[in-house]
Amino acid sequence: MGQNRVVIEHVSPQINCGQFPIKRTLGESIRISADIFSDGHDKLYANVLWKHKNHRSWKKEKMHFSGNDSWTAEFTPEKTGIYLYTVIAGIDHLSTWYSDLLKKIEASQPIMNDLKTGARLLKRLSRIKKIEEILQLIETEKGIELLKKPQTGKFLSTLFHNYPEEQFLTRYHKELEMEVSRIKARFSTWYELFPRSTSKRKGSHGTFKDCQKLLPEIASMGFDVLYFPPIHPIGIEHRKGKNNQIKSHKNDPGSPWAIGSKEGGHDAVHPQLGTLEDYRELHKEAKKFGIELALDLAFQCSPDHPYIKEHPEWFLWQPDGTVRYAENPPKKYQDIVPFDFECADWKSLWDELKRIVLFWCKSGVRIFRVDNPHTKPFAFWQWLIAEVKTDYPDTLFLSEAFTRPKVMQHLAKIGFDQSYTYFTWRNTKKELEDYFQELASSEYLRPNFWPNTPDILPQFLQQKKRQAYVARLVLAATASSNYGIYGPCFEYMEHSSLEENSEEYLNSEKYEIRHWEAPKETLKELIALVNAIRKGNAALQFTRNLTIIPNDNPQIISYAKQSPINDNLLMIVVCLDPQHTQSGWLSIPSEQLGLPTDQPYLVQDLLSGDKYMWQGNSAFIELNPFVIPAHIFKVCKKMIKEQQFDYFM
């Protein structure tokens, strides 16, 4: 302990002082930094140690000095699961000796004692052939010439990193964790629909077999996750009517989130949708189109859910003997009964809810969209997600928590793989820029951008303008690598709200079955194009790589995204004004993006196909929202010269 001279501080990244794991996906590297210093002027060396939690041996990555006592290293995890990483450092006696020796040789000072000191340092490594060669020559003129060679210094430095004096090493006092998930945690394209609204016959209840017929169309638009609201039996008691009316009529189907009836609960399928076997068949068919099914996980009950009678201890009861339904005063949700997570029998409640999730995992589900997780205990979610991933490590959980920022962030820390965000309500240039940069710096919250949801028809989309929908589509699909739309409301550009200053859809599918017929104009082709651009450009498959490009127009937002290996660069420009043509000058951070400033380069708009030659740090752009309110420029950094022509000699 007394011989350990090196100090290691501020190892990053880490969350809550190492309380929670940071997050990465396959193919995504992690950059570790630390402040490392010692007394005196000796040279240091440092390594990152990392390993999969299930492995015994550690791997080593050399850290590089980056100035001001800061050191960095980068590595890429090889498979999914939990990884551990930490930092070790020590005095690099060989490099220190070698550096001082060269200075003395340069100054023509006596070096015999220094050579013997170096020999002692090297003798413990004499089993290495190169060291034997240096030791034999070290006291001769040839040895001095050998020592002067730059490659010798590099060799000695590398040598000490590989064979350190372990008794003098300092090791960071924590082993930090990183959770590595499959790529879909980072890059996914979601489509939400109500399966009961998929029948071709007006007035009929849709089925899983009807959904199966829609798979080619959904796949052709480029979606790889198909998400359904709850597919379970719906309660009869206090069933909601159309447009959220308190009283329902005979044929009103009710809200899918009022789960449970005499026909079953959370592990049952609504009989009008089909059977559990039908659902499994849909799951298999979807896979053929590259689509995964996502299941809604809503841990709440209708007043006639079987749990109410079988486990009354799991609920709160009023003094008059009635079960307490959900409230958010003054709002009342008479068709929903929440669990009492403070009940005395909480452990059996937790176990039952875990059984439900594992039941659906056994049926093939690997993605869950979790309804309002912020209304259940954090400890429950941390336990449940860890338990499920023990048996099914490829399972993903999307948090639908439109709540306060710190609550949303904590849910991400404790295990949720993706999160809904405030993107839906970010409209101005400053709001969007600030939010994009905030999310791009997160080590644990993976945003999933939704321009609309069954609960939210944003006011920006209520303008009855195609260009408003296109702008929000491009923003969602390019700023975040995970995004989704609620359809067919989005591609059909449904814009009617329940009432003025409301974000509720008129005739919402939450309370009635809709019969959809495509209007003359839809966004299907454009959505397919945007999603094809996402799949064909690695830069759009990451979120934390966004760089704001300044411009001089408050109605235009511009940003760049570049792939991790810098072989794919896109610049996105979006007009935020759906009513007027807007223009301005981009101030391109050429050096940061690796662009030449003294030579022209080619950009191609992937939306229109148009090509332009740009040069320098500025470019003029103009967007007519009535044509298309966005550019997605693909940048070709280097122009082909005559020397690359086949017959150039």
Is 176:34 a contact under the CB 8 Å cutoff? no
Question: Is-catalytic flag, 400?
Answer: yes
Rounded percentage of the chain residues whose pLDDT exceeds 70:
91
Distance between CA atoms of residues 223 and 485, nearest Å: 10
Render pLDDT for 65-120 as a digit per residue (tens, 0 to 9): 999 999 999 999 999 999 999 999 998 887 788 778 778 877 878 777 777 777 77
Asked if residue 133 has pLDDT above 70, the reply is no
Asked if residue 159 has pLDDT above 80, the reply is no
Under DSSP, the state recorded for 23 is E
Mean pLDDT of all residues belonging to the chain: 92
Is 632:639 a contact under the CB 8 Å cutoff? no
Q: Is 98 annotated as a binding residue?
A: no
Under DSSP, the state recorded for 526 is H
Q: The tokens 């979610």 sit on which residue?
A: 381
pLDDT at 314: 98
pLDDT at 93: 80
Rounded percentage of the chain residues whose pLDDT exceeds 90:
82
pLDDT at 160: 59
pLDDT at 66: 95
Is 34:63 a contact under the CB 8 Å cutoff? yes
* Mean pLDDT in residue range 25-39: 96
Render pLDDT for 293-335 as a digit per residue (tens, 0 to 9): 999 999 999 999 999 999 999 999 999 999 999 988 888 899 9
- Which pTM does this prediction carry? 0.92
CA 519 to chain centre: 34
Is 595:588 a contact under the CB 8 Å cutoff? yes
Q: Is 300 annotated as a binding residue?
A: yes
Domains recognised in the chain with CATH numbers: 6-180 (2.60.40.10), 189-231+270-297 (3.30.750.90), 546-644 (2.60.40.1180)
Distance between CA atoms of residues 247 and 312, nearest Å: 26
pLDDT at 533: 99
Distance between CA atoms of residues 587 and 592, nearest Å: 12
- Of 89-98, 188-197, 543-552, 571-580, the range with the lowest mean pLDDT is 89-98
Alpha helices in 47-189 (DSSP H): 93-106, 112-123, 129-137, 141-148, 150-162
Q: Is 335 annotated as a binding residue?
A: yes
Render pLDDT for 606-618 as a digit per residue (tens, 0 to 9): 999 999 999 999 9
447 phi-psi bin (left φ>0, alpha ψ -120 to 50, beta other): beta
Sheet holding 601-605: strands in order across? 546-548, 556-562, 569-575, 630-636, 601-605, 611-614
Distance between CA atoms of residues 111 and 104, nearest Å: 7
Asked if residue 471 has pLDDT above 90, the reply is yes
Question: Is-catalytic flag, 552?
Answer: no
Token code pair at residue 226: 């198909």
Render pLDDT for 232-280 as a digit per residue (tens, 0 to 9): 999 999 999 999 999 999 999 999 999 999 999 999 999 999 999 999 9
CA R_g for the chain:
30
Render pLDDT for 351-398 as a digit per residue (tens, 0 to 9): 999 999 999 999 999 999 999 999 999 999 999 999 999 999 999 999
Q: Is 511 annotated as a binding residue?
A: yes
Which of the four pLDDT bands, split at 50, 70 and 90, describes residue 218? very high
Catalytic entry in 292, 371, 494, 512? 371
Distance between CA atoms of residues 308 and 313, nearest Å: 9
pLDDT at 411: 98
Q: Is 372 annotated as a binding residue?
A: yes
* Mean pLDDT in residue range 169-173: 95
- Of 104-108, 392-396, 431-435, 451-455, the range with the lowest mean pLDDT is 104-108
Asked if residue 10 has pLDDT above 80, the reply is yes
pLDDT at 106: 77
* Mean pLDDT in residue range 508-525: 97
Catalytic entry in 179, 400, 494, 512? 400
Which of the four pLDDT bands, split at 50, 70 and 90, describes residue 26? very high
DSSP string for residues in 408-439: HHHHHHTT-SEE--SGGG--SHHHHHHHHHHH
Which residues are paired to 38 by β-bridges?
6
Q: Is the torsion defined by CA of 324, 328, 334, 335 positive or negative?
A: negative
Asked if residue 146 has pLDDT above 70, the reply is no
Asked if residue 546 has pLDDT above 60, the reply is yes
Token code pair at residue 487: 């359809």
pLDDT at 110: 79
Is 372:401 a contact under the CB 8 Å cutoff? yes
Token code pair at residue 479: 């700023």
Q: The tokens 């223009």 sit on which residue?
A: 583
Q: Indicate the pairing of strand 176-181 with strand 22-25.
A: parallel
Asked if residue 535 has pLDDT above 70, the reply is yes
180 in helix, strand or coil? strand
Residue, of 150 and 236, whose pLDDT is higher: 236
